[in-house]
């Protein structure tokens, strides 16, 4: 009986770990929102791009809504503070950590969005990280009508 006790304790820990891992798996679609603040346009070397008078070219801030599907598809809606809006479709892929996704999305007209989405362990939010020179900003999970 004394040899059986450590064995049962080990099995119990494994079962508990499996259940905890299952609870950390997301239910798709995942919808996130966040606000990117207004910021200066930047050159390839990271310095602010300026007008002839020397003042920086400001880009409008805006609210991003990202909807991730289980198959890696992503829909991004960008509602700028100045009233303009853009809709993008694309894909995201993850490496060994499913909470760090590399994404590309296009509106079919302009420069595509290239970004990483780094999510917290609980899948409740994280950070949008532009692969350009735009500032990173936080995103939080929201319940969408389709969820």
Note whether residue 73 is domain-resident: yes
Note whether residue 4 is domain-resident: no
Note whether residue 18 is domain-resident: no
Kindly report the average pLDDT of the chain as a whole number.
84
Note whether residue 146 is domain-resident: no
Q: Is 118 exposed, middle or buried (0-12, 13-18, 19+ CB in 10 A)?
A: middle
Note whether residue 11 is domain-resident: no
**Per-residue pLDDT tens for 42-87?**
887 888 889 999 999 998 999 999 999 999 999 999 999 999 999 9
Q: What's the pLDDT score for residue 131?
A: 87
Q: What is the CATH number of the domain that holds 85?
A: 2.40.128
Q: What's the pLDDT score for residue 145?
A: 58
Note whether residue 86 is domain-resident: yes
Note whether residue 51 is domain-resident: yes
Q: Quick one: which H or E segment has residue 13?
A: helix 4-23
Q: What's the pLDDT score for residue 91?
A: 97
Q: How many domains does the chain have?
A: 1
Note whether residue 95 is domain-resident: yes
Q: Which domain holds residue 81?
A: 26-141
Instruction: Answer yes or no: is pLDDT of 24 > 80.
Output: no
The residues, any chain, with a CB within 8 Å of residue 147's CB and separated by 6 or more, are: 27, 29, 31
pTM: 0.76
Rounded CA-CA distance 113/134 in Å is: 11
Q: What's the pLDDT score for residue 10?
A: 43
């Amino acid at each position: 009986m004394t040899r059986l006790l450590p064995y049962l304790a080990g099995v119990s820990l494994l079962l508990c770990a499996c259940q905890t891992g299952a609870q950390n798996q997301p239910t798709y679609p995942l919808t996130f929102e966040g606000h990117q603040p207004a910021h200066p346009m930047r050159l390839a070397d990271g310095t602010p791009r300026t007008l002839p008078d020397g003042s920086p070219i400001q880009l409008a801030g805006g609210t991003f809504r990202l909807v991730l599907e289980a198959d890696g598809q992503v829909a991004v809606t960008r509602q700028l503070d100045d009233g303009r809006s853009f809709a993008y479709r694309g894909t995201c892929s993850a490496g060994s950590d499913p909470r760090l996704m590399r994404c590309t999305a296009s509106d079919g007209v302009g420069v595509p969005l290239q970004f990483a989405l780094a999510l917290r362990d609980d899948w409740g939010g994280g950070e949008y990280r532009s692969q350009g020179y735009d500032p990173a900003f936080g995103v939080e999970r929201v319940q969408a009508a389709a969820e």
